[in-house]
């Protein structure tokens, strides 16, 4: 766990330094210069921060799904604690991804929202998180709540492949220009970037994933303590 925390801090600090400080020049030489991408120029730096947000929100959903599934298998309440903690974290990252993406879109494509496939799918992820918490708040029994929210997260996960593989074919909207072609409408995309940019980008993805693990661990620990205290009070 300590490795996770230290690496998260180190990686993200690196990305902040490299992502912001490395200059963007017309003819990049070597590792300490980024190329100018027409249409993006300085705004391209957002990629190092906005995409990991979206990636973390997907991580949150996948963990919530996984822990929910494990709860259904074992009926161990600790899995429900992990599931709801993942979902809460995932929702926060989803909101951050949507907001940062929207601001970037305003300056790159002219308006805050365009119903581009990727924008639509992050919005749908937001809806799924909202529905998940709405369901949880409407159920009073611990056991029923754990069971039904696990089922719902799995159901929602079943529809996910549609957004990843099918929707880009149907909607075929404006693809984020300089991001190159995409493998699908999730935040995971094939990006045509020069190797030094790609390196910073990957470090950012890994760093924020590690941060996710750290934050999740904290939330789970706190939730477990609260649960223990509530058990003692009863």
Residues that bind other proteins (CB under 8 A): 5, 9, 12-13, 16-17, 20-21, 23, 42, 72, 124, 127-128, 130-131, 134-135, 138-140, 144, 147-148, 150-152, 154-156, 158-159, 162-163, 166-167, 169-171, 214-215, 218, 221-222, 225, 228-229
- Residue 185: name the closest of 158, 153, 152, 160 by CA: 160
Q: Minimal distance in Å, beta carbon 165 to other proteins? A: 10
Q: Minimal distance in Å, beta carbon 23 to other proteins? A: 7
Bridge partners of 35, per DSSP, are: 25
Q: Are 77 and 146 in contact (CB under 8 A)?
A: yes
| CB nearer to other proteins: pick between 162 and 192 | 162
The three-class DSSP label of residue 55 is: helix
Q: Minimal distance in Å, beta carbon 156 to other proteins? A: 6
Q: Minimal distance in Å, beta carbon 73 to other proteins? A: 10
| CB nearer to other proteins: pick between 22 and 191 | 22
What is the dihedral sign for C-alpha 64, 69, 71, 74? negative
Q: What is the rounded (10 degree) CA torsion for 85, 86, 91, 96?
A: 110
| CB nearer to other proteins: pick between 147 and 175 | 147
Give the whole-angstrom CA distance, residue 69 versus residue 62: 10
């Amino acid at each position: 766990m300590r490795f996770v925390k230290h690496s998260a801090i180190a990686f993200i600090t690196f990305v902040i330094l490299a992502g912001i400080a490395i200059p963007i020049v017309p003819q990049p030489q070597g590792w300490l210069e980024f190329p100018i991408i027409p249409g993006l120029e300085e705004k391209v730096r957002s990629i190092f921060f906005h995409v990991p947000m979206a990636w973390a929100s997907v991580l949150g959903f996948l963990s919530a799904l996984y822990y929910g599934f494990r709860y259904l298998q074992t009926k161990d309440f600790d899995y429900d604690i992990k599931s709801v903690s993942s979902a809460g974290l995932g929702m926060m990252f989803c909101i951050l991804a949507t907001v940062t993406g929207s601001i970037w879109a305003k300056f790159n494509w002219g308006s805050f929202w365009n119903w581009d496939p990727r924008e639509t799918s992050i919005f749908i992820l937001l809806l799924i998180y909202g529905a998940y918490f709405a369901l949880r708040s409407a159920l009073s029994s611990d056991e029923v709540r754990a069971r039904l929210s696990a089922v719902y997260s799995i159901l929602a996960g079943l529809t996910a492949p549609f957004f990843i593989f099918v929707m880009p074919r149907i909607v075929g909207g404006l693809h984020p220009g300089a991001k190159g072609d995409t493998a699908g409408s999730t935040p995971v995309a094939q990006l045509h970037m020069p190797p030094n940019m790609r390196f910073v980008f990957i470090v950012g993805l890994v760093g924020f994933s590690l941060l996710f693990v750290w934050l999740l661990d904290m939330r789970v620990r706190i939730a477990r303590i609260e649960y223990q205290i509530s058990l003692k009070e009863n």
